[in-house]
């Protein structure tokens, strides 16, 4: 079975984490286009959830990677906002965090995350989760 083509929205403000994610996606056997949003407001605008966007402007992504700690809106709140939009609610979402706090794991799933990943990102961790989400959706 050929690997899928992925359109990823990475919602992350840390440049080193962005570079790490890009390097990993360049090495895994998925054809991947990564779009970056450096904060929650930009992410919601890209996805078309802001008040000025109509539903036909919403960009479909195959995967959302969302950092918890963003400069403007908490990653949990970004995901909750995404989940209320019918066209976006079923896009797999992975919460990213440097925290090992059990409450963050609980809040991730309560906010609608499909998975939770502790930073630093590694190729093995990301590949395992992406593969699991792909085959779960197939």
Mean pLDDT, rounded, of the chain: 87
Looking at per-residue pLDDT, the higher value among 136 and 132 belongs to: 132
Residue 29's pLDDT is what? 75
In contact, 85 and 58? CB cutoff 8 Å = yes
Separation of CA 130 from chain center: 11
Model pLDDT, residue 52: 56
> Which three-class secondary structure state does DSSP give residue 6?
strand
Specify the pLDDT at position 43.
96
For residue 4, what pLDDT band results from cuts at 50, 70 and 90? low
Q: Could you confirm whether domain 5-137 is CATH 3.40.50.2300?
A: yes
Sheet of 93-97: strand order equals 31-37, 5-11, 63-67, 93-97, 115-118
| Beta carbons within 10 angstroms of residue 67's beta carbon | 25
- The percentage of residues in the chain with a pLDDT greater than 90, rounded to a whole number, is 62
Over residues 2-17, the mean pLDDT reads: 87
> What's the pTM?
0.89
Across residues 122-137, what is the average pLDDT? 78
Per-domain residue ranges of the chain: 5-137
d(CA 42, CA 24): 23
């Amino acid at each position: 079975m050929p690997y899928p083509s992925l359109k990823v929205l990475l919602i992350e403000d840390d440049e080193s984490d962005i570079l790490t994610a890009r390097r990993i996606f360049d090495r895994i056997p998925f054809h991947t286009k990564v779009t970056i949003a450096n904060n929650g407001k930009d992410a919601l605008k890209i996805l078309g959830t802001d008040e000025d966007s109509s539903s036909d402007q919403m960009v479909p992504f195959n995967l959302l990677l969302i950092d918890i700690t963003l400069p403007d809106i908490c990653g949990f709140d970004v995901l909750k906002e995404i989940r209320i939009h019918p066209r976006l609610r079923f896009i797999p979402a992975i919460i990213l965090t440097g925290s090992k706090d059990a409450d963050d794991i609980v809040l991730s799933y309560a906010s609608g995350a499909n998975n939770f990943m502790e930073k630093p990102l590694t190729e093995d961790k990301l590949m395992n989760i992406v593969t699991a989400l792909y085959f779960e959706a197939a």
